[in-house]
Amino acid sequence: MDTLKLLRELSQASGVSGYENEAQEVARRALVPYADALRTDALGNLIALKRGARPEGTPVRSILLAAHCDEIGLMVTGFEQGFLRFTRVGGVDVRTILGQEVVVHGRRPLPGIVASRPPHVMTKEEMDKPVPLDKLFIDVGLPAERVQELVRVGDVITLRREMVELAEGFVAGKALDDRAGVAALVFCLEALSTLRHTWDVYAIATTQEEVGLRGAMVSAYSVAPDLAIAVDVTFGKQQGVSENESVELDAGPTIGKGPNFHPLLVERLLATAGEHELPHQVEIIPGRSGTDAWAIQVAREGIPTALLGIPLRYMHTTVETVCIKDIERTGRLLALCIAGLNEDFAAQLGL
């Protein structure tokens, strides 16, 4: 599997929370070769099932893998002299979008720019403050009457960015939170196609994570797995962020420890990584993880859950940066862990 190529397609696809279709389509095409069944549920979650080779006389067991395919974005709220007013969908730091190119999903996709004022005409006081949302406009370069014809209030807006390859196997682009996770799930299913596994695997590209873990909540209910592992991105070390707040890139996925995660599953992941000498890190999350794992853990009667984190710099910008190898290491760790699942482990967990 060409992880870089898949990641590029995933990154450049549009999929603001609640409007994930385009990104889901890329994920679907990537998952099809490895899935025994694929379906989309009421909230748009794309659920791929890869069946395990269940020994006769054992119960059906399943593990759910979740990576969210929605991204943060913007939404049209009004018109002013041919320019668009907008609001945020998800956690957008407005300081990072001045001069940003966008795509307005009107009656046809319209490229646009978040307007910035030229420094020649601004006072020092104006430049000393971030531009607030109510002074930001999107310009699609069309006459006002054309804008009215093509755009409606409520149209979503994607931040636009071509993914770029940096040095040493790093790439930068938009929506790598959490398309990198989606790529890791695809990598995992591909790896599983050459491994023996007895448990069924549900790989889910979830929706609406950025606005409250909503896709994960309902898909965990419908799949009702025995176990779950969410894959999301985590804060990678970067300039201006302390070591306490971040983890290394190109050092493997993080395995989360804390109340959100089942200790035995965490131990199993650590043991698997150790046994196969896969680089990995431990991330301590003393409370709310803010990931799909948080919703999945409390679905139905409760599901033993774990979290793998792909280290990523500049989260929630259009230059999110990851190491391709970390994505592959995440997928490999998932696959090897799944291949090791058996009835003994189910018994340990009291399943």
- Which are the catalytic amino acids? 209
User: How many other CB atoms are there within 10 angstroms of residue 102's CB atom?
Assistant: 24
Strand partners, 105: 109
Residue 83 Cβ vs other proteins, minimum distance, rounded to whole Å: 6
Q: How far is 307 from 293, CA to CA, in rounded Å?
A: 6
Nearer to other proteins, 32 or 122 (CB): 122
Residue 10 Cβ vs other proteins, minimum distance, rounded to whole Å: 18
* CA 335 from centroid of its chain's CA atoms: 19
For β-strands 254-257 and 227-235, DSSP reports them as: unpaired
Residue 80 Cβ vs other proteins, minimum distance, rounded to whole Å: 4
Torsion of CA 95, 96, 98, 101, to 10 degrees: -160
Residue 92 Cβ vs other proteins, minimum distance, rounded to whole Å: 7
Q: How far is 340 from 255, CA to CA, in rounded Å?
A: 17
162-179 residues labelled b (16+ CB within 10 A) or e (exposed): ebeeeeeebbbbbbbbbb
Nearer to other proteins, 4 or 346 (CB): 4
Which residues of the shown chain bind other proteins in the complex (CB under 8 A)? 80-81, 83, 91-101, 110-113, 115-122, 127-131, 135, 137, 139-143, 146, 161-162, 164-170, 172, 235, 237-241, 245, 249-250, 290, 313-319, 321
CA dihedral over 273, 24, 89, 7, signed as positive or negative:
positive
By the 8 A CB rule, do 66 and 210 touch?
no
Residue 138 Cβ vs other proteins, minimum distance, rounded to whole Å: 10
